[in-house]
Chains A and B, each alone.
Chain A
Amino acid sequence: MTQADQSFVEFEATLRARAPQLLESLQQGRLDETAQMLNELNQMRNNGLYQEVGKLTRELHNAIVKLEMDTSATGGDPSPITDATDRLSYVVTMTEKAANRTMDLVEESTPLVNYVSYEAQSLTADWQRFMRREMNAEEFRELVRRVDSFLQRSMNDGSQLSQNLSEIMLAQDFQDLTGQVIKRVTRLVSELESNLLNLVLMAGQVDRMAGIRHDCDAMRLEQERKKREKEPSNGEGPQMHADIREDVVSGQDDVDDLLSSLGF
């Protein structure tokens, strides 16, 4: 049992114990005694309430301190939320940079590969003519010159290609760095959630003491309305757990099936 429950239970027990006494004095017309008892009970309830509000305030303060939020708002270190935002922007920048670097290297490498493939094909044709002895001396000298330049260029392009490939490999190092950053931000979000939940629980205790009732139905309706507002038109980005969800396609084949069922 938590401390908050404890004080509520104590209050409830006292209330039960005093109730018959209260009824008795009321029935016997001892109004001043009744009023006195009511005052005492009220006092006790108020004390409990003050205590709960006190605890809530303390907990709120702790949560703020734990999350290192800057309450003075006069500069200093950025709050963890600002920090998390910065970190996520860093992830966007890093992944964009890596994608562009990789594409640069691929674009740089494509003509090299194309040249080797094109020139090898053309040399093969001429080489076969030579093997069939269909080539005169002049043409042969030209072929030799071309083979020489092909070998020379293949050597250079080969080493350039292998360098590009290892740079493409290195450009994937963002995965490690961004992974670390995302894990930190995820941890912060979980901490925020558990702190908020704790505060809601404590506030609930204050409500019980004070006898405040919230309109749960209205809150639920509001939640439903917000959910409905998130219409598919707005776009939601990639879906998680697509393979186990009914309302989401799990790949291009699913899309094609759905579209063909619609007459596409």
Chain B
Amino acid sequence: MDKNMKILIVDDFSTMRRIIKNLLRDLGFTNTAEADDGTTALPMLKSGSFDFLVTDWNMPGMSGIDLLRHVRADERLKHLPVLMVTAEAKRDQIIEAAQAGVNGYVVKPFTAQVLKEKIEKIFERVNG
């Protein structure tokens, strides 16, 4: 796994972005950027060369699930690995995210270990 890969963290709460950013840094990923909802994240994804997207679900403006759908519908972004980190815990929602093409799903509150496992699993599959 390339520790220099560029990661976009999308969450409407700055504290949660900061937690995820710190956890990623502890895992050795320091090349991160932040956005506070899908509407600001999408142009960043389209113009920047991001390798990985970590997004919340419930956000004002564009939600995480809609962002995921936009990413999958975009010719250049459709293979971008996406990890959803969210408080949304309904079975229907997890199935919906899976159908929309999410690569991993972490429910809040989560641990550093869970985040690490999911990221490793995603890149094992992507690279394998």
Check A235–B63 contact: CB distance below 8 A. yes
In angstroms, how far is the closest chain B Cβ from the Cβ of A232? 4
Does any Cβ of A come within 8 Å of B52's Cβ?
no
- Tell whether A223 is near chain B: CB-to-CB under 8 Å: no
CB distance B107 to A251 under 8 Å? Answer: yes
Collect the chain B residues with CB atoms within 8 Å of residue A117's CB: none
Within the complex, the shortest CB–CB distance from B120 to chain A, in Å, comes to 14
Shortest C-beta distance, A137 to chain B (Å), equals 41
Cβ-neighbour of A258 out of B63, B64, B65, B91 (below 8 A): B91
Q: Which of B19, B66, B87, B98 contacts A259 (CB 8 A)?
A: B98
Cβ contact within 8 Å between B91 and A248:
yes
**Contact across chains for B94 and A247 when beta carbons are under 8 A apart:** no
Question: What's the interface size class on A, roughly?
Answer: 20 to 34
- Least CB distance, A98 to chain B, in whole angstroms: 9
- B14 located at the interface, meaning its Cβ lies under 8 Å from any Cβ of chain A in the complex: yes
Task: State the total of A-B contacts with C-beta under 8 angstroms.
Answer: 78
Of the candidates B58, B66, B90, B114, the one having the most CB atoms from chain A within 10 angstroms of its own CB is B90
Is residue B18 within 8 Å, beta carbon to beta carbon, of the partner chain? Answer: yes
Measured between alpha carbons, how far is A216 from B92 in the docked complex, in Å?
A: 30
> Is B4 positioned at the interface, with any CB of A under 8 Å from its CB?
no
Bound CA–CA A250/B13 (angstroms) = 23
- Tell me whether A239 is interfacial, beta carbon within 8 Å: yes
- Stretch from A99-107, A167-175, A188-196 at the B interface: A99-107
Nearest chain B CB to A176 CB, angstrom units? 19
* A259 to B96 Cα, complex, angstroms: 11
Query: 8 Å CB contacts to B: which residues of A111-147?
Result: none
Interface residues of A (CB under 8 A from B): 96, 99-100, 103, 106-107, 232-239, 242, 247-252, 255, 258-259, 262, 264
